[in-house]
A and B are shown apart, each in its own frame.
Chain A
C-alpha cells in the first residue's frame, strides 16, 4: 500500500498511509475509534476506492485489476461476518466457493474442503442450520471459515475476535498463527492489544487517518529484565557482553536484549562474577498497551 489517501468531500479519513506486509507476517492494525481502520481495510480489499495512492495484493492493483488481485484473498470486513440468513452455513460457504472459482484460473472448491473448514472452526453441528439461527460468535467463526475457504495467500480480518468467547478467541489465534506459519500474509484490525501482542509480528498504530507508528514486536520481545541491587552497575556489566544488543535500566531492573533465552544463564554468570546480586530474571514483555497509549496521546 503506497501513499494512500481517502477523502469524503473535504474530510480526509486516510492520509498518506504506507504499509507492506510480507508472506508469513501477522500485521495488527490498531487505533482509537474513528481512526480510519475500517476505511483502510475496505480500501485495501477493494471495496472502497482511494482518493490517491495504490493498493497491491500479490503485486496486482486491487482497484484496477480487482478480479485477479482478489484471487488469493480471504477477508472478513465486518464484525460479525454477514451471510444470507435464509441459507444454511454450508449453503453460504458453497456460494462463496462458487464465487471463488470465478477467479481467472480459479480451481473448484470441493464439498470436502467446506466440511473441513467448518470442522476447523467447530461449526460442524451448525452446518445445516440457517445462518439466521447462528449466534454472533458462530457467525464470526463462519466468517473466518469463509475467509480461509479458498486457501488464501492474503488474509484480511476486521475485528476477528469480536463477539467470541475465550475459547473462540483462542481458536482464531491458533488458526491465524497456523495460516501465517504456512506463508499467508495476515492483516487484522483489533482493539485487543494485549491479546494480539502474543501472536502478531507487527503492529500499526493508526490515528486520525495516519499511520503514526509501526511496532516490530519480534525485535522487542527478546528483552530480559534482571532485578538487581545495583541496576546501573548491572547495565554496565551487561553492556560489555558481546551477545547483548541493547541495555537500559528501569529501577530496580536492568533490561537487556539478549537475542534469546539461551543467553540468560551466561548473563547471570557474568553479573554474579562482577559482584552484582540478582534477585530475579524474567522476560521483559513489551507492554503494547502502554506504548499505544503514549503514541496515541502524542499524535
Chain B
C-alpha cells in the first residue's frame, strides 16, 4: 500500500494542473492586501480595515472556497483516473499483481489529502502576504467567527493562530467529498474533462437546490462550504461526521465501480 501511496503522491506533484493550483493558491492571497473594495464582501458591521496578518487567511479561503478550490480539486481528482487512461498508464499498473481496491484506495487517500494541501498553501500564501501587517496581538477578529473581522475585543496571537488553523482545517474537510466525488466520476467516465465537468455540474445543481426546504439543506455538500466560518460556534461535530460519511460513501462507490471496470 505504501508503494502505491508513494507512487500516487509522486504523480500528484508532477501534474501540471496541481503545480498551477499550488502556485495560484500561494500567490492569490497577495492580491487581497491591495484590494480597496474588500469590505463589500461583508455584512455591514462585520468588515474592518485589515489590521493583522491573522485576518488574511480567512479572506483568502473565503474568496476561493466557492469556486476556485473546488475546481482545482475536481480537476485533479478526475485526472487521477482520466489522465492515466488517456496516457495508457493505468493498464500497465493493473497488469502488476496489485489489488484493484488498493489502487483506488491509494488514489482516494491522495485525492482527499489534496484539499488540505491547497488550503494549507493558501494559508502559507496568506501568512506571507500578512507579514507587513504583523502577527501580534490585535483588536479585532480573524473572520473565522462567522466572517466577523471586527471582533469582540483584543485577540492574542496564539488565540488567533488557533482560530486560523482550525478554520483552515475545517475548510479542508468541507472540500474532501468533492475530491471523492470527482474520483468516482473519473472511474465512471474514464475521462478527465467529463469527470471534472460532472463534478462541477453536481456542485452547481446543489447550489441551485438552496430553494428546497430547509430540512433538505443538510444533505447538500454546498451547505458546508462555510463550515470554516462556524469554527467558533461549536456544533460542527455533526457536520464533520456527515462530510466524512459523504467522503467514505463516494470512496466506497469508487472502489465498487472500479472493481470490475474494463480498463
Contacts and interface: CB of A to CB of B under 8 A. Distances in A.
Interface string A92-133: 000110111111101000000000000000000000000000
- Size range of the chain A interface in the assembly: 20 to 34
Contacts of B92: 76-77, 81-83, 96, 146
Contacts of B263: 42, 47-48
B137 interface: no
Interface in B52-92: 87-89, 91-92
A289 to B, nearest CB: 30
Contacts of B3: 98-99, 101-102
Contacts of B100: 66
B98 interface: yes
B260 interface: yes
A70 interface: yes
Nearest to B259: A49
B49 interface: no
A169 B10 CA distance: 34
Contacts of A75: 95
Contacts of A47: 91, 94-95, 262-263
A68 B10 CA distance: 27
Given A47-B263, A48-B263, A49-B260, A96 B96 contact: yes
A70 B87 CA distance: 22
Contact of B97 (A48, A67, A82, A83): A67
A106 B97 contact: yes
A56 B194 CA distance: 35
Nearest to A103: B97
A85 B262 contact: no
B95 A77 contact: yes
B261 to A, nearest CB: 8
Contact of A70 (B4, B7, B91, B97): B97
B207 interface: no
A40 interface: no
Contact of A102 (B11, B95, B98, B260): B98
A84 B95 contact: no
B88 A99 contact: no
A67 B89 contact: no
A42 B89 contact: no
Interface in B74-130: 87-89, 91-100
16 contacts: A42-B262, A46-B95, A47-B262, A49-B260, A49-B262, A66-B100, A67-B99, A73-B95, A78-B91, A82-B91, A82-B92, A86-B14, A99-B98, A102-B4, A102-B98, A104-B97
Interface of A: 42, 45-49, 66-68, 70-71, 73, 75-78, 81-87, 95-96, 98-104, 106, 146
